[in-house]
Structure 1
Amino acid sequence: MILERFRLAGKVAVITGSGRGIGAAAAVGLAEAGADVVISSRTESDLHEVAARVADAGRKAHVVPADLSDPDAAAALAKAAVDTFGRLDIVVNNVGGTYPRPLLETTPEFLEEAFRFNVSTAHALTTAAAPAMLTAGGGAVVNISSNMGRIAGRGFAAYGTAKAALAHYTRLAALDLAPRIRVNAIAVGSVVTSALEIVAGNPELREKMESATPLHRLGDPEDIAATIVYLVSQAGAYVTGKVLEVDGGLQAPNLDLGLPDL
């Protein structure tokens, strides 16, 4: 049956930024498909809540509280997976993000920090995980990019540049790691997570964003989790080096920060 291709029985996954939002949904989704998971974020209490949901799905979660803005901390998650579960098959590089900032207030240091958090961390974990994946017979990596890495909006110079770099890193890494490790990315649109609470909690702003989105709704974390399950399972076995746009059909930003002309 075709559904068998989506199953991940016996697989082990590492998901960064998995205390809430997309990372939490990905951890639970992968567990529901059959995988055991290593989950990590700064807030340990969030991780234990996610671990309980993983247990409800019948799988095991290993909790690793860490500051994943440090690439070394992210890289250490690969060893944690092998030490705990004996193997590593899947990496979801979800941690990332950067606050919007006007261009002339975007210092080189702010830009470099955005690159480090969104790209260097993903690279550190991917390269640390690759040997374990090869030992296990192969694997799959999913990088969480953003639609702001392909469309332009004022205030997103640092964030958009970093996410665009992550998207192209995906293509380059996929070529280097083929054929045994597949690497893909998701260009995420406006998904209702804690990062979007200030907007989603304002009915007027939310209505404007939904109206500017072709599918007339904001995304759910489970929309992204379902795409991750596809990409890392045998259902996506013939896909690598691709950036899937899961954004409700956006071709332009659906939120104007109101930054004036100079």
Structure 2
Amino acid sequence: MILDRFHLTDKVAIVTGGGRGIGRAIAIAYAEAGADVVVAARRPEVLEEAAAEIRARGRRALAVPTDVTRGPELDRLIEATLSSFGRLDVLVNNAGGYPPTIALGVTDEEFEASFHFNVTSALHLSRVAAPHLARTRGSILNISSAMSHLVDTGFVAYGAAKAAMNHMTRLLAHEWAPQVRVNALAVGATMTDALEAFTGYGDLLEQMAKRTPMKRLGTPEDIASAALFLASPAGSWITGKILEVDGGTVASNWPYAIPNGLEESG
């Protein structure tokens, strides 16, 4: 049966940023597909809630409080996974992000912090995980952003970091094939707690939906479905690719006109 190719029966997955939003939806989707899941994030109480949802679906769960910007904590995440489950099949580098800041306002330190959070941390964890993934012919999935290829004011630090993540995905896929597959999702605007808290709900979200060809924002489950496809045997002939999951977006749907800081000099 073709649907059997979408199963992850008895596989083991790590999902960073797995306590809420897209990461949590991916973790639950993997559990429903038969995987045991390790969720990692900074807030223990949120992680335990996600772990409880995984266990409610009949799968084992491990919550590992982790700051992905700290290399030793990433090392301990892999160690805890292997100690508890003895194998690793899927790594999802989902933790990331950075607030909008115009190019004239972002400092060198902030720019480098965005790269460290979104790119360096993902490389570090992928590098530590790769030998273990090679033993199971496993895969890595990086959660990128539509802003990696779209343009808008205020996203130079975040967008440049996600563009770097995309090409890192291609480079790692080439270097680690055929033992480990590496792909990414370029995610469009998705309804999560983080987006709602940032936009303040209401009219702004409606404007964003109107600017999206599919006339709605994404849901975490939209992203989780694509994440399951790429991690499962159904995606076993796909590596080094960036799958755009964005409601058909070809231009930024961010409705704010952010001043670029050059108006007075122009």
Normalised by the length of structure 2, the TM-score is: 0.95
Residue number in structure 1 paired with 2:159: 160
**Is residue 204–residue 255 contact of structure 2 (8 Å, CA) maintained in 1?**
no
1:112-261 pair list within 5 angstroms: 112-136=112-136, 138-198=137-197, 201-261=200-260
Normalised by the length of structure 1, the TM-score is: 0.97
One-letter amino acid of the structure 1 residue matched with residue 164 of structure 2 = A
Distance in 2 separating the partners of 1:251 and 1:229: 24
One-letter amino acid of the structure 2 residue matched with residue 44 of structure 1 = P
Q: How many residues align?
A: 261
Shift of 1:135: 2.4
Residue number in structure 1 paired with 2:74: 74
Distance in 2 separating the partners of 1:45 and 1:111: 30
One-letter amino acid of the structure 1 residue matched with residue 203 of structure 2 = E
- How much is the aligned-residue C-alpha RMSD, in angstroms? 1.1
One-letter amino acid of the structure 2 residue matched with residue 156 of structure 1 = F
Note closer, same or farther for the CA distance 1:233–1:151 as it changes in structure 2 (3 Å cut): same
Query: Once structures 1 and 2 are overlaid, which stretch shifts more, 194-203 or 162-171?
Result: 194-203
**Is residue 72–residue 124 contact of structure 1 (8 Å, CA) maintained in 2?**
no
**Is residue 5–residue 232 contact of structure 2 (8 Å, CA) maintained in 1?**
yes
Distance in 1 separating the partners of 2:26 and 2:256: 29
Distance in 1 separating the partners of 2:110 and 2:142: 21
**Is residue 66–residue 77 contact of structure 2 (8 Å, CA) maintained in 1?**
no
| Fraction of identical pairs, as percent | 49
**Is residue 170–residue 182 contact of structure 2 (8 Å, CA) maintained in 1?**
yes
SS at match of 1:176: helix
The answer to whether structure 1 residue 9 and structure 2 residue 9 are counterparts is yes
Query: Once structures 1 and 2 are overlaid, which stretch shifts more, 36-45 or 127-136?
Result: 127-136
Note closer, same or farther for the CA distance 1:201–1:104 as it changes in structure 2 (3 Å cut): closer
**Is residue 192–residue 220 contact of structure 2 (8 Å, CA) maintained in 1?**
yes
After superposing on structure 2, the runs of 4+ consecutive aligned residues of structure 1 that deviate more than 6 Å are none
Shift of 1:206: 1.3
**Is residue 140–residue 181 contact of structure 1 (8 Å, CA) maintained in 2?**
yes
**Is residue 93–residue 144 contact of structure 1 (8 Å, CA) maintained in 2?**
yes
**Is residue 27–residue 39 contact of structure 2 (8 Å, CA) maintained in 1?**
yes
Shift of 1:194: 2.1
Shift of 1:76: 2.6
Distance in 2 separating the partners of 1:4 and 1:233: 9
SS at match of 1:103: coil
Query: Once structures 1 and 2 are overlaid, which stretch shifts more, 150-159 or 249-258?
Result: 249-258
Distance in 1 separating the partners of 2:80 and 2:225: 25
One-letter amino acid of the structure 2 residue matched with residue 37 of structure 1 = V
Distance in 1 separating the partners of 2:27 and 2:227: 10
Distance in 2 separating the partners of 1:95 and 1:199: 17
The answer to whether structure 1 residue 47 and structure 2 residue 69 are counterparts is no
**Is residue 199–residue 205 contact of structure 1 (8 Å, CA) maintained in 2?**
no
Shift of 1:201: 4.7
